[in-house]
Amino acid sequence: MYILYMPKGQSEKKDFLITEAIKVYMQNTWYRCGIICAPGYRGTTEETIREFMHNLSKLFKPGGKQSKVIKFKSDSSKEDINNLYNEIGFDPSLVEQIRRNPCLRDTIKIGILRGMGKISADNKSDIIDELYSRAICSINNLEEILIVQNDNNRDHRKMMIFFEIKEDMDFASHGPLYYENIEQILNSIKPKAILIGSSNQNLNTYYGGKNGTADKGEADVLLFDDINVYNAILKEKDGYCKRLMDDGILAKSEKLKDGDTEYLIRILKNILRQNLGKKS
C-alpha cells in the first residue's frame, strides 16, 4: 500500500494538491474505472454543482502526460498499441495491459452518495440528487451509477473510492446499487485507491470557489496500491508530480496481513452499508 499526504493552507491558490493527486492517479492507471464519492457537504446550486463536476471530469481523462481519451477497437493488435505508445509516449509497461483490455475506459462510472446535502420538506428525497444527475449526464466522459440510498441518512465523511470493474463484468447488469446487492457489486469490482480527508467535495473546497483561493486549511490522504502511480510521483522531475513530492508526503507501507485489496474492500463495504441502509 502507498500513502500520499496532501495538505492545503489557508489562502493557498489553486490548483490544490488534492486535485493534482487525482490527476496523477488517473493518468497512471489503466483499468475500467468506477468511482464512488462520499462527498461530505456537496454543492447547493445547479451552477456550482455543474461547474464542480465539469472541473472534476477533466481530472479523469487517461493517458500518461496527455489528456486525450484513447479508444481501442476490439481487434487492436499489440503492434497497433505499440505504435500508439511510440506516438504519444505511454509507459511501455502499460502496453500489454491495454492490449488485454481493449475496452479501455472511454467513460468513468461515478456514483455520488448523499453526504450532507439538503433534504426536501417531506424528508424523503434529496433536492440536490437531481442536480448532480443532470450535471453527470451533461458530461461526455461520465456515466452515473444509480444508488438507492437511505432517505434519512446524513453522512459527513469525505471519501472517494476508485475501483476496477473486472474485465468479464457487465457492471450495468446489476442495475442500481442498493443495500441488498452490496455483496454482489463487491464481487464484481476491485477497489484500487481511497481518498480520505477533510475536504468536502464541492467547488469551494476543491477549487477555491470564485476566487480560486482556499478559505481554510485542509488535509487529505490517498491510499493506493498501484506502483505506476507511486513511481510517477517519486520519479517525476517537474510539473504537478514534483509538487506532490515537494509539498506532500509520500510513503510506502508494509504489505497488509490480509492484502491491500481486502483492506480497501472492507472500507468500501462499511461506507455502502452505512449510507444505503436497509430498504423499508
Q: Residue 118 corresponds to which cell in the numbers above?
A: 439538503
Considering only residues 54 and 150, tell me which one the structure prediction assigns the higher pLDDT.
54
CATH class as words, domain 2-62+105-276: alpha beta
pLDDT tens, residue by residue, 40-97: 999 888 899 999 999 999 888 654 333 333 444 444 555 665 565 555 444 555 555 5
Considering only residues 199 and 101, tell me which one the structure prediction assigns the higher pLDDT.
199
- pLDDT, position 93: 54
Helix (H) or strand (E) run with residue 221 in it:
strand 218-224
pTM of the model: 0.81
Residues 38, 26: Cα–Cα separation, whole Å:
18
Q: Is the pLDDT of residue 217 over 90?
A: yes
Q: How many CA atoms lie within 13 A of 221 on its CB side?
A: 7
Mean pLDDT over residues 128-157, rounded?
86
Residues 275, 158: Cα–Cα separation, whole Å:
13
pLDDT tens, residue by residue, 226-275: 988 998 888 876 666 788 999 999 999 877 767 888 899 999 999 999 99
Cis bond leading into 15, ω under 30°? Answer: yes
